Amino acid sequence: MNWLLKARESWENTGNKRPPFAVAPKKGQRSVWDFPRPPVIEKVQQPVMVKYQGETIADSHEALAILETASPPTYYIPVRDIDLDALVSLPGKTSMCEWKGVAVYWALKDSIDRAVAWSYPKPFTEFEILKNHLAFYPQRLECYVNAERVEAQASEFYAGWITPDLTGPFKGEKGTEHW
H/E run at residue 9: helix 2-9
CA–CA separation, 65 vs 161, rounded Å?
Answer: 10
* CATH (residue range 41-162): 2.170.150.40
Asked whether the predicted pLDDT for residue 133 surpasses 90, the reply is yes
Side chain identity at 20, as an amino acid letter? P
Confidence of residue 17 (pLDDT cuts 50, 70, 90): confident
Asked whether the predicted pLDDT for residue 5 surpasses 80, the reply is no
Asked whether the predicted pLDDT for residue 104 surpasses 70, the reply is yes
Confidence of residue 112 (pLDDT cuts 50, 70, 90): confident
Q: How far is CA 77 from CA 6, 21, 25, 98, 168, in A?
A: 30, 32, 27, 21, 24
Asked whether the predicted pLDDT for residue 32 surpasses 70, the reply is yes
Confidence of residue 167 (pLDDT cuts 50, 70, 90): very high
DSSP letter for 120, please.
Answer: -
- Residue 174 confidence (pLDDT): 84
- Residue 36 confidence (pLDDT): 94
- Residue 3 confidence (pLDDT): 64
Asked whether the predicted pLDDT for residue 8 surpasses 80, the reply is no
pLDDT tens digits, one per residue of 136-161: 999 999 999 999 999 999 988 889 99
Confidence of residue 11 (pLDDT cuts 50, 70, 90): low
Handedness of CA 164, 170, 103, 123 (dihedral sign): negative
Strands of the sheet with 48-52, listed across from one edge? 55-60, 48-52, 142-145, 148-149
In the chain, domain spans: 41-162
Number of other residues whose CB lies within 10 A of the CB of residue 21:
9
pLDDT higher for 6 or 36?
Answer: 36
pLDDT tens digits, one per residue of 38-72: 899 999 999 999 999 999 999 999 999 999 999 99
Asked whether the predicted pLDDT for residue 76 surpasses 90, the reply is yes
State the distance between the two ends of the chain, measured CA to CA, in whole angstroms.
Answer: 23
